[in-house]
Amino acid sequence: MLKSTNVAGARPAVYPDEAGKVLVSDGTFEIAAAQNVDEAVVALCSLPAGCIPLDFTLIVDDLDSGTPAIVLNGGGISAAGDSVDRVMISASTVAQGGGVARSTLFPMVAPVETETLFGIHITTAPGTAQAGTIRGILTYRAEEYGG
């Protein structure tokens, strides 16, 4: 699994210290064309244990030149690190031309029990892979506030 600086240990997850406080985990990854392949998983953000996600936004460069084909899911990454199993952005084609994708699905009702990484899973390979920037912005709050 590829990891942004945010989740690679340079910036530890921030735990809320009061109910209702909204926090942000913001991570960026520069993906090389050789890494931009089918089934690639990129971790961008961390959701601390005992917290609930509010929103997940992707800001992506054009990662697919030629005949665009790339499709990705965004959300909570599986414990094995091989897929997004808590899908918040489903079957997005945003990386075909670049742009912004926001959460449309909210599969989590209960807070996570362990720290969970958020990012993307490329489910359909690009037609012609190219390098670019992938940014994830996750907002979350403590479970004590309506969890």
Per-domain residue ranges of the chain:
2-8+24-140
- Three-state SS at 132: strand
Whole-angstrom CA distances from 40 to 3, 20, 52, 71, 123 are 11, 35, 25, 11, 8
What is the SS3 assignment for 100? strand
Residue with tokens 């109910």: 19
> What is the distance between the alpha carbons of residues 28 and 124, in angstroms, rounded to a whole number?
21
Task: Give the CATH number of domain 2-8+24-140; options: 1.10.150, 3.30.460, 2.60.120, 3.30.450.
Answer: 2.60.120
Q: What is the pLDDT along the chain (147 residues), one digit of tens a residue?
A: 888 887 887 667 777 766 678 899 999 999 999 999 999 999 999 999 988 899 999 999 999 998 999 999 999 999 999 999 999 999 999 999 999 999 988 766 678 889 999 999 999 999 999 999 999 999 998 887 554
pTM of the model as a whole: 0.87
Rounded-to-integer distance, Cα 100 and Cα 61, Å: 9
